[in-house]
Amino acid sequence: MITLDKAVQIILEGVVPLGLEKIPTAESYGRILGESIVSKQNIPKYNLAAIDGYALSASDTLQVLRSKPAKMTIVGESKPGRIFKGKTKKGNVVKVSAGVRVPDGFDAVVKFEDVARTEGAKLNVYVKVRAWQNIVRVGKEVSVGDSLMPAGRVLNAADMARLVEIGMDDVNVYKKPKIGLISLGDEFLSDSEDDRNPGISRNQFLNSLINQSGAEFIYMGPSPFSTERLDEILKSCKSCDQIIIMAGRSIENYNFLKKCFRELNIELKFWRVAIKPGKSVLFGYYEGIPIFGVSGNLWSVAVLFDQLVKPLISRQSGLKDIKKLEVIARITKELRVNPSMTQFFKAVVKVEQDGFTVSPILERSAGELWALSIANGLIIIPPETHSIQAGNKVRVEILGPLAVSAPYEESIYSSENYNSSKRVHRGVADPQRININRKD
């Protein structure tokens, strides 16, 4: 049995990002930038008015006194959609709106309150104006040759707007890894509504995790407990960048899967990792393609995906910074821990006045998906830890928003109350039992 750190090291060894593809910038949200962006133009491209006022030449105001204003002539107006393009000369001004291009020949904008119209197009200016006063100059934000974004960055809405601003209608991004899922076992073979097939929800859960991580989910189909059938399906996975075989929940399923890895000449790298849940996990290579073998226990799947599969997706996707968001939180109850391995507990994290608190979800009678649906944190207990008492500080990975739809209360997960708590799952909370504003 190897440590979690060793397992991650083995998985990532020699892995390089996939190739690039060019896509429309408008469709690039959340994609990983495949090239460093260097600007080929200035932003702004022209001198822009920083305020509403009158554009003029600062030299025309050098002799101005309050008692002796500069007498100017208004020759036009520049506003969004109707830019002034006429010629100007000494003593001219142009009315401008904030953000529009300042006409050529002008190097300042004077405020409305510092001028007065006299008659017709005549204007008195009562203040001296410095050169470039109230003007956003060419290249103020970005100059030609400036580095805007490094390769490996996850593109957000502002990034997309900046790319469009510098004229990039298309952008090179890393290809999404294609993750093929094979379901192994009888519980995945029927989709009859009468059978209440548990495999359908498990497939959907993994589908969602894969898509959420920025990869592409491909369902390769279910397989019975047949090495021959599994071999046939694996041969159809050669276009995948990763393969996950999800077996049933029993140890017999895992043993059969381990037997298949050996018989199908999969290069097995490890089969047990010192973590809980998820200790029994297989990893190797099938004709050069990374392949995982996991059980169908959803909590185990969630942990293994987060700790082992997701780092590989990130590396294949070209993501440079794969650090996870973690906080230190005060735990609300005691945990039983095993000092020989890294342990993970699903939990609800809250923000209190004195910092973060975290409440582990421990009641086994709680539905697997129901508990996962409200868990927004993952308590991480490192090896060599012998006890965790209520009030201790623990490390927590944040999995979702800190504001949850229904706050976690231990009573919800007590054996006698679990069934009644299902109405909260349907969005009908009992105010006598769950009230986010209660102080008691």
**Judgement on whether residues 278 and 194 belong to the same structural domain of the protein:** yes
Q: What's the total number of domains in the chain?
A: 4
Domain containing residue 110: 48-136
Task: Write down the pLDDT at residue 192.
Answer: 55
Are 215 and 313 contacting, i.e. CB atoms less than 8 angstroms apart?
yes
Is the pLDDT at 406 greater than 70, yes or no?
no
pLDDT in tens, 27-45: 999 999 999 999 988 999 9
pLDDT digits (tens, 9 = 90+) for 222-240: 888 889 999 999 999 999 9
Poorest-pLDDT segment among 191-200, 241-250, 277-286 = 191-200
- CATH number, residue 384: 2.40.340.10
Task: State whether 228 and 291 are in the same domain.
Answer: yes
- Are 24 and 156 in the same domain? yes
Say what the pLDDT of residue 328 is: 96
Q: What does residue 30 show for φ and ψ, rounded to 5 degrees?
A: 80, -5
CATH code where residue 149 lies: 3.90.105.10
Q: 64 phi and psi, to 5 degrees?
A: -70, 135
Q: Of 174, 194, 226, which marks where a domain is finished?
A: 174
Residue 167 has pLDDT above 80, yes or no: yes
Query: Tens of pLDDT along 323-366?
Result: 789 999 999 999 999 999 999 999 999 998 889 999 998 866 55
Q: Could you tell me if 407 and 434 are in contact, meaning their C-beta atoms sit under 8 angstroms apart?
A: yes
167 and 28 housed in the same domain: yes
265 vs 347 pLDDT, higher one: 347
Contact 1, 274 (CB under 8 A): yes
Sequence length of the chain is 440
Instruction: Give dist(CA 265, CA 75) in Å, integer.
Output: 83
160 in a structural domain: yes
pLDDT at 11 over 90: yes
pLDDT (mean) for 170-180: 97
From CA 166, how far away is CA 377, in angstroms rounded?
39
Could you read off the pLDDT of 85-110 as tens digits, one per residue? 899 999 999 999 999 999 999 999 99
Say if 321 falls within a structural domain: no
Q: Is residue 437 part of a domain?
A: no
pLDDT for residue 408 is more than 80: no
Residue 439 inside a domain? The answer is no
Predicted confidence (pLDDT) per residue in 186-214, tens digit: 666 655 554 556 677 888 999 999 999 99
The last residue of a domain, from among 263, 290, 316: 316
Residues 205 and 194 in one domain: yes
Domain boundary pick from 82, 113, 136: 136
User: Residue 247 sits in a domain of what CATH number?
Assistant: 3.40.980.10
Closest CA to 345 of 314, 406, 388, 309: 388
Whether 239 and 178 have beta carbons less than 8 Å apart is answered as yes
User: Do 62 and 124 share a structural domain?
Assistant: yes
Within a domain: residue 436? no
Residues 303, 228 within the same domain: yes
What is the structure's pLDDT at 401?
78
Same domain, 119 and 8: no
Using alpha carbons, select from 377, 336, 361, 375 the residue that is nearest to residue 412: 361
Is 204 a domain residue? yes
Identify whether 335 is part of a domain. Answer: yes
Same domain, 312 and 344: no
Q: What tokens does 354 get?
A: 């004195």
In a domain, residue 299? The reply is yes
Phi, psi of 381 (to 5 degrees): -110, 115
Same domain, residue pair 9 and 98: no
Evaluate if residue 52 carries a pLDDT over 90. Answer: yes
Q: CATH number of the domain that 94 lies in? A: 2.170.190.11
Same domain, 170 and 180: no
Q: Can you read off the two tokens belonging to residue 347?
A: 């939990």
Q: 64 and 83, same structural domain?
A: yes
